[in-house]
Amino acid sequence: MKNRFTGVVALFAIVMVAAFTVSCAPEEDPYKEQIRKIIVEAQIPLIQLEGKFNGERLSYQIENPNFYDSLKIAAGEAATPQPAVFQAASLSKVVFAYIVMKMYDRGEIDLDAPICNYTDIDRFEDKESASRLTARMVLNHRTGLPNWSKSPSSQEWPTSPITFKFPVDSCYGYSGEGFAYLQRAVEKIRGKKIDDIAKEEVFQPLGMEYTSYEWQPMYDTLAVDGYNKQNENRGKGRHPRANVGYTLRTCAADYAKFLQALLDGTGLSPEAKEVFFTPCAEKAVRYAANHRECDNSIAWAMGIGTEDNAEFGKVLWHWGDNGSFKALFIVIPSADGYLTYFTNSNHGHDIINDITALIIKNKEPFAINDWINMD
């Protein structure tokens, strides 16, 4: 009887342990598989995503098994480095704008003084127009300049002549060339190269250890390859010089630290933060010959896009597009929240509506999607 009773007790203990183990198992992640499904459908190899909404903090690096070694993934080994480092493309501009606003706050630069007070205008063919350009015009994208005079990674670009596309301060016109010109002024004012300035002003104070405008040795192993529209591998892409318009490399976790700093106004006076996020009075009509409905909701503040949103009020955002690397962030001050994602694919902006609906849970699509994706 004793042995039989002991066996029953042992069996009961096993059942109870099993039941307790099941009840205490962590809940299934509500987002991971949905995000994976979104990138598989969009043919995106890899996504990094960071977010803070509704009291939740989200952090993901998710691979598409159709692109990477399924055996490694099945064995629990990541096929890509941790953390993967991406080209941030034009998200580079917002970090630079933050630096300029900190300098403005300290009285180091006048947003409305001619930039030629700080640096030369040698490359500009129209010297009179160039002499009227200001930092505010650059950050509002109202310089009248083209995006680039030549491919900014080419050997010819640093000495290529710059011509104006529109009259100065006449309309919105997205321009990396304007940011590169203002970069030269900032470097002259500080007497340092932009990456050293960025380390002092942003990367080191915020703990962004994987972020740089210049190629770093760690990127040899951490930087991921990008894929074009045909899903062909286009490599990591080495840029020949630091350019605040497009050469930043980072990971989503680092960039999320920067977005939190924007939300908090870290390093800025309340007055400077207000100037930073106040949009230009005129809307950002992306295509001069094609005024779209979405343009009515989009404007540009000091180096950062804004959207007038019926659900959330003023939304801050920027997109990044280096061809085979695409990225996005959305900051919603009224919700004290942000979302940012980085992809290594030309298809990276195809998922804006799906990702925002999943994470932000907005009732209507953001105008941002149409502004970026519709011609």
The DSSP line for 16-58 is HHHHHHHHTSPPPPSSHHHHHHHHHHHT-SEEEEEEEETTEEE
pLDDT at residue 299 is higher than 90: yes
Question: What is the structure's pLDDT at 55?
Answer: 80
Residue 72, amino acid = K
- For residue 350, give the DSSP letter: T
Element (H, E) at 307: strand 305-309
Confidence of residue 79 (pLDDT cuts 50, 70, 90): confident
Mean pLDDT score, 279-289: 94
The pLDDT-based confidence of 41 (bands split at 50, 70, 90) is: very high
For residues 272 and 101, is the Cβ–Cβ distance under 8 A?
A: yes
- 12-26, 69-83, 240-254 — which one is most confidently predicted on average? 240-254
* Tokens 């006048």 belong to residue: 110
pLDDT in tens, 252-262: 999 999 999 99
Look at residue 68 in the predicted model and tell me its pLDDT.
83
Q: Helices (DSSP H) in the chain: which residue ranges?
A: 2-23, 32-42, 70-74, 91-105, 127-130, 135-140, 176-190, 194-198, 204-206, 219-222, 252-264, 270-277, 352-359, 367-373
Average pLDDT over residues 80-90: 96
pLDDT tens digits, 328-343: 999 999 999 999 999 9
What local confidence, expressed as pLDDT, does residue 30 receive? 80
Residue 1 has pLDDT above 60, yes or no: no
Supply the pLDDT for residue 23. Answer: 33
Sign of the torsion formed by the C-alpha atoms of 134, 246, 121 and 119: positive
The whole-model pTM stands at: 0.91
User: Which of the four pLDDT bands, split at 50, 70 and 90, describes residue 356?
Assistant: very high
Tell me what the mean pLDDT of segment 197-213 comes to. Answer: 98
Query: Which of 12-21, 108-117, 351-360 is predicted least confidently?
Result: 12-21
What is the H or E stretch that residue 337 is in? strand 337-343
| Residues 215, 217, 222, 228, Cα dihedral to 10° | 40
On whether the CB atoms of residues 29 and 49 are closer than 8 A, the answer is no
Condensed to tens digits (0 to 9), the pLDDT of residues 110-169 reads 999 999 999 999 999 999 999 999 999 999 999 999 999 999 999 999 999 999 999 999
- Check residue 301 and give its pLDDT: 98
What's the residue count for the chain? Answer: 375
What is residue 74's predicted lDDT score, i.e. its pLDDT?
Answer: 67
pLDDT tier, 71 (very low <50, low <70, confident <90, very high otherwise): low
| Residues forming beta bridges with residue 341, ordered by sequence position | 49, 328
pLDDT at residue 16, as a whole number: 37
Mean pLDDT of the chain: 92
Is residue 238 scored above 80 in pLDDT?
yes
- In the chain the domains, ranked by start, together with CATH numbers, are 46-213+240-373 (3.40.710.10)
Q: Is 62 in contact with 32 (CB distance < 8 Å)? A: yes
Return the higher-pLDDT residue of 71 and 373: 373
Q: Is the pLDDT of residue 104 over 80?
A: yes
Most confidently modeled range among 4-8, 66-70, 371-375? 371-375
From CA 100, how far away is CA 105, in angstroms rounded? Answer: 9
pLDDT for residue 27 is more than 60: no
